[in-house]
């Protein structure tokens, strides 16, 4: 399925909005999560929050380079009073991101936007690490 540059910019803006929401969601979860058993993962969630902000910066720069207007909207944010449910919400977000970035890499390559594809590969590798941290914390 062929993608146009215009469509790719639109999809990258959706990815960008979801990076903003992921950052906010991690900040929220790290703040409200409680219990000594969760100390290690709380530290990880704070690191994830910063990495999602870095992803938002990379995507904003790439969207601008491609001639688009980087979105300043924020995607959906999920939270809970339950620690396990919050970790599951974070894992769901990461699994969604992994799926989206795999498709986005293919689309970038179709358009011969190889630098973008490389940046997306770097982001994908970080999202996979995030998913692994969350799976470990959830005992999966």
Binding test (CB under 5 A) with Fe ion, winner from 71, 127, 133, 134 = 127
Binding of Fe ion at residue 55 (CB under 5 A)? yes
**Residue whose pair of structure tokens reads 């929220």 in the numeric block:** 28
Which window, 8-16, 83-91, 99-107, 122-130, contacts Fe ion (CB under 5 A)? 122-130
Q: Shortest approach of Fe ion to residue 2 CB, angstroms?
A: 26
Which residues, numbered 97-116, are part of the site for Fe ion (CB under 5 A)?
none
DSSP per-residue letters across 28-47? HHHHH---GGGHHHHHHHHH
Binding of Fe ion at residue 130 (CB under 5 A)? yes
Binding of Fe ion at residue 52 (CB under 5 A)? yes
Which window, 1-9, 11-19, 39-47, 65-73, contacts Fe ion (CB under 5 A)? 11-19
Cβ-based neighbours of 45, under 8 Å, separated by 6 or more: 26, 29, 30, 33, 90
CA distance linking residue 140 with residue 70, whole number of Å: 36
Angstrom CA distances, 101 to 42, 75, 104, stand at 25, 16, 5
Q: Shortest approach of Fe ion to residue 71 CB, angstroms?
A: 15
Looking at the Cβ atoms of 4 and 85, the one nearer to Fe ion is 85
Angstrom CA distances, 121 to 3, 78, 109, stand at 18, 26, 11
Looking at the Cβ atoms of 8 and 22, the one nearer to Fe ion is 22
Residues at the contact surface with Fe ion, assessed by CB under 5 A: 19, 52, 55, 94, 127, 130
């Amino acid at each position: 399925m062929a993608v146009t540059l215009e469509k790719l910019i639109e999809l990258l803006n959706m990815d960008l909005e979801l990076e903003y929401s992921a950052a906010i969601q991690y900040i929220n979860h790290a703040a409200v999560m409680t219990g000594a058993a969760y100390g290690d993962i709380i530290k990880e969630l704070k690191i994830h929050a910063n990495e999602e902000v870095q992803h938002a910066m990379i995507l904003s720069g790439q969207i601008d380079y491609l001639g688009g207007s980087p979105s300043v909207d924020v995607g959906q944010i999920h939270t809970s009073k339950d620690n396990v449910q919050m970790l599951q919400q974070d894992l769901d977000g990461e699994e969604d991101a992994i799926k989206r970035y795999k498709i986005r890499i293919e689309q970038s390559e179709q358009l011969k936007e190889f630098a973008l594809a490389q940046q997306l590969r770097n982001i994908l590798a970080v999202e996979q690490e995030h998913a692994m941290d969350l799976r470990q914390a959830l005992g999966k």
